């Protein structure tokens, strides 16, 4: 076996070994495995209503298959899993805000995945990479991060609704809020100290602390209640192959086409940014270009397609793969190890459910004190994208700002992206810099503006 792996992945030529690649894969998995707890909680939340077990099955299997494809097609140490931000767009914008069923959302996501696969197959990478202005791309990422953090604050009981000001500080003396604050402090400290797998460690310690506190204080609504560790894999039938194209296409095209375009835009630029960033760190770039980029993009697109079919939101390349690269990972063998870890996780479904389960705080309202700190931290990390915006250039800074703030206040990634595109195009035209912006941006801007006019009429 070792000889086969040596020949297939050219380990010695790349200055690595089977042992190094295994350690790198385990490191990457530990760093990104928080998604196993977050994904079922997000997609099973009341506004979306998917089966948590089915989501976990789809997450593990689709991620594993995507990792295997990345390893076999592109031979890169890059892992794939449902993307943070994409899952919130799916659950909170499309389902909770727009009122779509999750089956319709899966159908739209599949269309976007197939479109992405077509773009990758026909070699349109360079045109797409150069289409979106940097400021707008950073504004989209920061806006999604801000929205994720806001949801985390809600789920942790740190903020709550107010009839006059819309939002106010939560009841910080409540056990859920106290547990969230403790978990948040722990996660931040671990990250600041550079602990590998900091978020996974924070989740584990927070879960144990919540279980202990619930027993010690005799809480009527336990913060964490373990129902098991190992069990049979979850039943996939609750979500697998449940796409609803008939209901999707029964809607006006002005309703479903923007959603497909947003899905496509998010996964395109998220993937390209991750591939370039991780490959650069691994020293895989050649002359400023990424060899086998089309294969890597195809693996990513296939992951999204498989995820939609099995019942989870967009599966995409993970920037946390940089942790495995730092541990020495240089080949697709690292991604194979991550994929095997995803499959092995299926037998730990009872543990994942116990940690990700919500706490009923009354009136059927659920809070997630173990998951909430992770959302806040991930949101903060994504919000840091704004540091790359040229704030002294209004043509770049205002679209980024409007995109981020509207996304947050409207609780809609769609509207944030729309106003960002429109503002970018308008300012470029008004300042005589229209040709400096890709025609694709102007096309998107006209489309979103026409959609607003259609909805207003």
CA R_g for the chain? 22
pLDDT of residue 157: 92
Please write the tens of the pLDDT for every residue from 2-44. Answer: 677 777 888 888 888 888 899 889 888 887 888 998 899 999 9
pLDDT of residue 288: 58
pLDDT of residue 123: 62
pLDDT of residue 457: 59
pLDDT of residue 293: 79
pLDDT of residue 285: 67
pLDDT of residue 129: 56
Residue 244 burial by Cβ neighbours in a 10 Å radius (0-12, 13-18, 19+) = middle
Scored b (16 or more CB within 10 A) or e, 119-136 reads bbeeeebeebeebbbebb
Instruction: State which residues of the chain have pLDDT below 50.
Output: none
CB neighbours of 427 closer than 8 A, spacing ≥ 6?
Answer: 394, 395, 398, 399
Find out whether 313 and 43 touch, Cβ atoms under 8 Å. Answer: yes
pLDDT of residue 440: 80
Degrees, nearest 5: CA angle 248-252-255: 75
Neighbours of 191 (CB within 10 A): 15
| 379: alpha, beta or left? (left if phi > 0; alpha if psi -120 to 50) | alpha
pTM of the model: 0.80
């Amino acid at each position: 076996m070792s000889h086969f792996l040596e020949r297939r992945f050219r380990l010695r030529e790349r200055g690595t070994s089977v042992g190094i690649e295994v350690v790198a894969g385990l490191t990457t998995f530990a760093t990104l495995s928080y998604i196993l707890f977050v994904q079922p909680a997000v997609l099973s939340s009341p506004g979306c209503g998917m089966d948590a077990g089915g989501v976990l099955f789809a997450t593990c299997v689709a991620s594993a298959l995507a990792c295997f494809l990345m390893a076999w097609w592109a031979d890169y140490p890059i892992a794939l899993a449902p993307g943070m931000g994409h899952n919130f767009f799916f659950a909170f914008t499309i389902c909770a805000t727009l009122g779509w069923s999750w089956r319709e959302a899966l159908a739209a996501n599949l269309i976007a995945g197939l479109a992405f696969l077509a773009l990758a197959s026909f070699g349109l990478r360079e045109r797409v990479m150069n289409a979106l202005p940097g400021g707008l791309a950073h504004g989209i990422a920061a806006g999604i991060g801000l929205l994720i953090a806001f949801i985390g604050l809600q789920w942790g009981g740190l903020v709550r609704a107010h009839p006059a000001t819309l939002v106010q500080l939560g009841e910080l003396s409540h056990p859920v809020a106290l547990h969230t604050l403790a978990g948040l402090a722990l996660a931040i400290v671990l990250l600041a100290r550079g602990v590998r797998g900091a978020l996974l460690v924070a989740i584990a310690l927070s879960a144990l602390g919540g279980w202990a506190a619930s027993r010690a204080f005799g809480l009527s609504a336990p913060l964490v209640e373990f129902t098991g560790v190992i069990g049979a894999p979850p039943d996939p039938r609750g979500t697998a192959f449940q796409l609803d194209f008939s209901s999707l296409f029964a809607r006006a095209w002005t309703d479903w086409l923007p959603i497909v375009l947003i899905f496509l835009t998010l996964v395109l630029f998220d993937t390209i940014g991750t591939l370039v960033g991780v490959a650069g760190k691994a020293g895989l770039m050649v002359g400023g270009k990424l060899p086998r980029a089309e294969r890597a993009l195809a693996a990513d697109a296939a992951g999204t397609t498989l995820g939609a079919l099995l019942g989870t939101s967009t599966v995409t390349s993970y920037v946390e793969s940089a942790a495995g690269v730092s541990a020495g990972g240089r080949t697709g063998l690292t991604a194979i190890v991550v994929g095997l870890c995803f499959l092995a996780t299926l037998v730990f479904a009872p543990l994942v459910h116990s940690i990700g389960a919500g706490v009923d705080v009354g009136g059927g309202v659920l809070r997630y004190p173990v998951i909430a700190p992770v959302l806040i931290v991930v949101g903060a990390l994504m919000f840091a994208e704004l540091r790359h915006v040229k704030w002294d250039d209004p043509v770049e800074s205002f679209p980024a700002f409007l995109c981020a703030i509207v996304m947050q206040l409207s609780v809609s990634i769609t509207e944030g992206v729309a106003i960002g595109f429109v503002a970018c195009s308008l300012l470029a035209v008004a300042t005589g810099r229209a040709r400096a912006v890709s025609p694709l941006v102007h096309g998107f801007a006209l489309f979103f503006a026409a959609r607003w006019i259609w909805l207003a009429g």
